[in-house]
């Protein structure tokens, strides 16, 4: 038991370090246990990588109860971390946004891991700790998600199927972040979703689209001097999707952009630094962390004829994850709305944005 506690303390400190640089900033591997191939291998790479130092299965999106005229946002994330090539562990993070009432709810839990736990496909993740429970099953775009918050009367049961084919970022399922970082990365950018969300005693029968990100091989990350932003947008009129990221060095102010634009026919354009313009227009300062987050942006991708204004539905969607009795990791992730044009056509879209280390921006 003593060895397990020491191991868990080490891994929680390391995951704090890893997350503080951001999920998209992953250096070239330092461990022979990590797996970098020429191309992502599906469905194999959907399963956990047992000796991987950090990986995740990530769902976000807007869901709506049409009968109740109610829209809710969902974030559902499973992290697997093993930075010391020991047993490692899991973290499950869930959040629900209620823009009508500008209310935000979230919960998370750590779980220990046995050597080959959940190593096969289809995914069969399942955890329980007191009142908190979470499960994720399925593969290849068809998933069942369930969760129960411990600290609030909130639960969800959702099932998905892929409306569009998988997108292998950078064309091979490995994203090269400005030649300074690399990670396995693919997405199902439009999962048709239905199910129920129970929010503080009210049940909502919801439908909509979730965005699913799968990343692995985020190893060798021991630098907290990077902030990052991640954007996902699902445009309705064109049935197209945009993923963008922005890495920012807190030491020398270097900025790196990248991303993927996918049209209705599932044809993707892989975007590099010079093809993306992001301007921040408005800001919100968190009363909890004192972090300064942008809450409105102008985004331009001339090569695909895209221009959009992106704005949060409400600013207070900051999470504070507890990694110890006095340690909290703050980051922002929440619902946004896009209005703009693609090749002259007026479009609107739903979006999720994630931002880390904003309290350290110059």
246-277: pLDDT as tens digits:
988 777 888 889 999 999 999 999 999 999 99
What secondary structure letter does DSSP report for 29?
P
Residue 213, pLDDT score: 97
Three-state secondary structure call for residue 4: helix
Three-state secondary structure call for residue 213: strand
- The number of distinct structural domains making up the chain is 1
Residue 322, pLDDT score: 80
Q: Which residues pair with 120 in a beta bridge?
A: none
**Distant-in-sequence contacts of 2-9, Cβ < 8 A, 24+ apart:** 4/87, 4/112, 7/84, 7/86, 7/87, 8/89, 8/110, 8/112, 9/324
Confidence class for position 24, pLDDT limits 50, 70, 90? very low
Question: Which region holds residue 111: left if phi is over 0, alpha if psi is between -120 and 50, else beta?
Answer: beta
For residue range 109-141, what is the model confidence (pLDDT) as tens digits? Answer: 999 887 778 888 999 999 999 999 999 999 999
Domain CATH for 73: 2.40.370.10
Find tokens 């599906």 and name the residue: 42
Percent with pLDDT over 90 in the chain: 67
Find tokens 């970022």 and name the residue: 169
The Cα–Cα gap between 213 and 223 comes to: 23
Which domain, by its residues, includes 154?
2-360
Query: Which spans in the chain are helix H?
Result: 2-21
pLDDT at 4 over 80: no
For residue range 216-228, what is the model confidence (pLDDT) as tens digits? Answer: 876 533 356 777 8
Residue 247, pLDDT score: 84
User: Rounded mean pLDDT of the chain?
Assistant: 86
The Cα–Cα gap between 320 and 300 comes to: 31
For residue range 64-98, what is the model confidence (pLDDT) as tens digits? Answer: 999 999 999 999 999 998 766 667 899 999 999 99
Residue 179, pLDDT score: 62
Percent with pLDDT over 70 in the chain: 83
């Amino acid at each position: 038991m003593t060895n397990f506690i020491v191991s868990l303390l080490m891994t929680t400190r390391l995951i704090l370090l890893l997350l503080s640089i951001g999920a998209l900033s992953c250096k070239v591997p330092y461990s022979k246990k990590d797996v970098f191939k020429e191309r992502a291998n599906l469905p194999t790479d959907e399963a956990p990588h047992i000796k991987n130092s950090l990986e995740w299965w990530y769902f976000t999106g807007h869901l709506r109860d049409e009968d109740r005229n109610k829209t809710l946002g969902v974030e559902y994330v499973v992290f697997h971390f093993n930075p010391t090539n020991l047993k490692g562990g899991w973290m499950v993070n869930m959040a629900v946004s209620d823009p009508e009432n500008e209310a935000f709810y979230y919960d998370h839990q750590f779980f220990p891991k046995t050597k080959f736990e959940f190593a096969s496909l289809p995914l069969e993740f399942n955890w329980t700790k007191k009142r908190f429970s979470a499960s994720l099953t399925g593969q290849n775009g068809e998933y069942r998600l369930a969760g129960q918050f411990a600290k609030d009367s909130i639960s969800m049961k959702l099932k998905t199927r892929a409306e569009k084919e998988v997108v292998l970022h950078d064309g091979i399922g490995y994203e090269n972040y400005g030649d300074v970082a690399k990670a396995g990365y693919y997405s199902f950018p439009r999962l048709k979703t239905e199910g129920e969300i129970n929010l503080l005693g009210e049940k909502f029968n919801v439908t909509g689209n979730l965005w699913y990100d799968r990343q692995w091989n985020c190893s060798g990350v021991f630098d907290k001097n990077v902030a990052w932003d991640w954007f996902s947008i699902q445009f309705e009129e064109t049935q197209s999707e945009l993923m963008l990221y922005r890495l920012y060095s807190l030491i020398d102010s270097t900025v790196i952009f990248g991303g993927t634009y996918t049209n209705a026919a599932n044809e993707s354009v892989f975007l590099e630094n010079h093809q993306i313009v992001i301007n921040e227009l408005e800001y919100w300062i968190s009363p909890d962390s004192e972090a300064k987050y942008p809450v409105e942006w102008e985004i331009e991708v001339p090569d695909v004829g895209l221009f959009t204004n992106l704005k949060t539905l409400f600013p207070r969607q900051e999470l504070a994850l507890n990694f110890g009795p006095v340690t909290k990791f703050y980051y922002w992730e929440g619902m946004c709305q896009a209005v703009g044009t693609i090749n002259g056509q007026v479009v609107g879209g739903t979006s999720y944005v994630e931002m880390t280390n904003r309290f350290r921006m110059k």
